[in-house]
Structure formats: C-alpha cells, structure tokens
C-alpha cells in the first residue's frame, strides 16, 4: 500500500471540537476513499489518501467544492438545502413535525435528517434542531452554512491552507458557536454574522460535518430518542463526545462507528466530583482492517474527548475527560499490523456478501 500518501494536518487538533469537526467535514468533501487517524503525541489529524499527496492538493479539492455551490446556495452539490427564507417570512426550517414531513418532498433528505428531527419537539411544538447547529438573534438555520461558506470564498486558498496547517484568527470572523475561543455578539436582533476572532476555513469545514452526526432512524436500540449521533444526555447535560484513534479509518468505518452507537452501548459517561467527565469504554473496539474488510482489528482508541454548551447557550466548550477501560464484551480485538500485512484468506462465511 505504498501508493497511499500520508498527509499530516497540524492545524487540526482532535481534542478541540472545532478541529475534530473540521476534519470530519474535510473527509466528507473528498470524493475518493481516504483514511483518518490521529497522532497520539499532539493529537493532530493524519489523512492517508490515494490521490491527494499534500495539503495543497487537499485545498485544491476543497476549492472545487466551493466552486460547485450555485449562486445563493450554501452547500456543495446541494441546490435545495438549506431552504432559503423569503423576504419577511419566518425561518423555513423552524417547522412542526407536519411541516417537516412536507419538507421531505422538497429537499435532500440526508441534510434535512441531520438538521431536524420530527420525533421530538421543543416547548413551541417545533422540531428539535441538531445541537451542533447554534444560531442567535434572528439568524436562520441556513445562516449556519451560508455565511461561513461566503467568508471562505473571499480568499479560499489562504483561509483553507491556514485551517489545515496553523490557525490564524481573523478580526470580524464569526465562529458560529463551534469555536469557544472566538467572541460572539449578544444582539437579540442579529441576522447575519456577529462575532470575531474565528478561523474561517476551520469553521466552514466544521459546518459540513453536521451531516455525519444526524438524527438516527429509531430502529436502533442503542441510540436514545431525541438525540443525534455523537450526543449523550448525562445528568441533564447534553454532551458531544468523540474518540481519537491510531488506526487509519475510512469514511465507511467511521459511519459505522457513529451509526452503531458505541456511544450508547460500549461507552458510558458519568460526572466526577471535581466536574470532570469519566468515560468508561471497552478495552478494544473492533472494525474492519483498512486493507482487509474480512478481518476485524482494534480501532486503538487512545483518548476520549467531549464538549458541551454552557447553560443558557454558548459555544461548544471542551470538557476534561478521564478514561476508564473495561474488558470488551465480545473479547479483545487484535492490533492492526500495518498496510503491508498479508492477511490469510478467510474463505466463505455468513454475511461475506451482505446480510447472512
């Protein structure tokens, strides 16, 4: 597998919510299969890619996605989401469950399902909004994607390169409550951006990660109703939690991590007396080897991270996490042995070609 290029992304540290989300958003925009891992020393992201060989190549791919967004649009390759607000009309995505079902006939379902759920409502009877999406004042939900995209478009090569290599905070740049180090306006009449000292490229990439943390189909017994993937209700506090790992994991593997719901099966959380979060996790977590889908190896989680919004609203803010490991329920998984390891042929087995 020597044709895979390792690309270190020193600007994107996985122990901060903005850095983690930005990497997931970046992977969502790569049309080829790529593999993500994290450096256990300083926790920066590492991509393994077939075609992009450098940060410059990744930036060029992202600039193509920016150019694909039509005039008035907000997301790459999505012409009908988010729904635009007509002048003088209310936010078209602040809807009741009946309104949600009408929207499903008009817009791209994956983005709608990531943004809203019709299974739970707020005090006003409107569909709950994914807690990754936080808007203020009179901002619409669509603003969350539109304005970060617009800002990056002004100088895409520089801003995206800075996001991946080393952050430079920009005066007047809005962090959209994903960046706890940025400042934010509290103007109740706020419509557009209102904040400063954010990182435009990282913010835009992070907004694109929302689709990966959508509300689940409620056929999964491991996921609590009313919570999107990655979020955990812990003694009345909604916490976003995620692992860092050393195994190069593809988008399909990561989709399985979020969708299967380890967070509500093999992961348990509790507050400690000093305000920290204790994460109890399995000793190993089995996923397909990146170079052999027929063999299960350990994802090699070396850290758990978490963030929550302050009471009353505010930016996603990191929470200290201490990890306690317990034996895996189904036995321990073996460590991965590298790209060039020759796996023995497993032969035929139930489920090899699908459900079995």
Reported as a single tens digit per residue, the pLDDT across 257-282 is 887 656 455 789 999 999 899 999 99
Examine the pLDDT at 241 and tell me if it is beyond 80.
Answer: yes
Tokens of 290: 């990146």
pLDDT at 220 over 70: no
How is 206-248 classified by DSSP, letter by letter?
Answer: HHTTGGGGPPPPTT-TTS-TT--TTEEEETTEEEEEEEEESS-
Identify the pLDDT of residue 204: 99
pLDDT at 23 over 50: yes
Choose the most confident range, by mean pLDDT, from 2-11, 102-111, 317-326. 317-326
Q: What is the pLDDT of residue 101?
A: 93
Which stretches of 86-142 are DSSP H helices? 97-103, 109-115
As a whole number, mean pLDDT of residues 84-98 equals 89
DSSP, residue by residue, 7-75: EEEEEEETTSHHHHHHHHHHHHT-SS--EEEE-TTT-EEEEEESS--SHHHHHHHHHHHHHHSPTT--B
pLDDT tens sequence across 45-69? 999 999 999 999 999 999 999 999 9
Q: What pLDDT score was predicted for residue 263?
A: 47
The confidence score (pLDDT) of residue 33 equals 87
Three-state DSSP state, 102 = helix
Q: Is the model's pLDDT at 143 over the cut of 50?
A: yes
At 255, which helix (H) or strand (E)?
helix 251-260
pLDDT > 90: percent of the chain: 76
Q: Residue 100's closest CA among 120, 80, 84?
A: 120
Burial status of residue 17 (CB atoms within 10 A of its CB: 0-12, 13-18, 19 or more): buried
Note if the pTM is more than 0.85.
Answer: yes
Closest CA to 97 of 139, 126, 129: 126
CB 202 within 8 A of CB 19: yes
Higher pLDDT, 104 or 169: 169
pLDDT-derived band at 356 (thresholds 50, 70, 90) equals very low
Give φ, ψ of 292 to 5 degrees. Answer: -165, 100
Output the pLDDT for position 80: 87
pLDDT tens digits along 303-350: 999 999 998 889 999 999 999 999 987 789 999 999 999 998 878 777
Taking the C-alpha atoms of residue 324 and residue 308, their distance in angstroms, rounded to an integer, is 20
Q: How confident is the model at residue 224 (pLDDT cuts 50, 70, 90)?
A: low
**What is the token pair recorded at 194?**
């209102």
| Per-residue model confidence (pLDDT) at position 88 | 72
* pLDDT confidence bin for 181, thresholds 50/70/90: very high
pLDDT in the model for residue 321 = 97
> How does the average pLDDT of the chain come out, rounded?
91
Residue-wise pLDDT tens digits, 296-310 = 999 999 999 999 999
């Amino acid at each position: 597998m020597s044709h895979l290029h390792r690309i270190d992304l020193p600007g994107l540290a996985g122990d901060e919510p903005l850095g983690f989300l930005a990497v997931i958003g970046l992977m969502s925009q790569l049309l080829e299969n790529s593999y993500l891992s994290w450096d256990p020393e300083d926790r920066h992201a590492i991509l393994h890619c077939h075609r992009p060989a450098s940060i410059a190549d990744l930036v060029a791919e992202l600039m193509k996605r920016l150019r694909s967004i039509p005039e008035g649009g907000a997301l790459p390759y999505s012409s009908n989401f988010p729904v635009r607000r007509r002048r003088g009309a209310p936010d078209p995505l602040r809807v009741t469950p009946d309104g949600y079902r009408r929207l499903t006939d008009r817009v791209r379902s994956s983005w709608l399902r990531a943004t809203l759920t019709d299974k739970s409502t707020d005090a006003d009877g409107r569909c709950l909004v994914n807690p990754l999406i936080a808007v203020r004042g009179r901002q619409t939900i669509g603003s969350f994607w539109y304005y970060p995209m617009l800002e990056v478009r002004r100088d895409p090569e520089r801003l995206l390169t800075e996001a991946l290599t080393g952050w430079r905070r920009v005066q007047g740049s809005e962090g959209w409550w994903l960046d706890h180090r940025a400042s934010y306006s509290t103007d109740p009449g706020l419509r557009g951006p209102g904040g400063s000292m954010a990182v435009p490229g990282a913010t835009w990439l992070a907004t694109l990660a929302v689709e990966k943390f959508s509300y689940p189909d409620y056929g999964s017994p491991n996921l609590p109703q009313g919570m999107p993937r990655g979020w955990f209700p812990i003694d009345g506090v909604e916490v976003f939690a995620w692992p860092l790992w050393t195994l190069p994991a593809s988008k399909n593997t990561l989709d399985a991590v979020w969708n299967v719901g380890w967070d509500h099966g093999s992961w348990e959380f509790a507050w400690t007396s000093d305000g920290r979060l204790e994460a109890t996790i399995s000793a190993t977590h089995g996923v397909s080897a990146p170079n052999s889908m027929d063999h299960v190896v350990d994802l090699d989680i070396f850290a758990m991270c978490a963030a929550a919004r302050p009471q009353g609203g505010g930016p996603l803010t990191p929470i200290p996490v201490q990890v306690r490991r317990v034996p895996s329920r189904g036995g321990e998984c073996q460590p991965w042995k590298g790209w060039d390891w020759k796996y023995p042929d497993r032969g035929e087995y139930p489920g090899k070609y699908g459900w079995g």
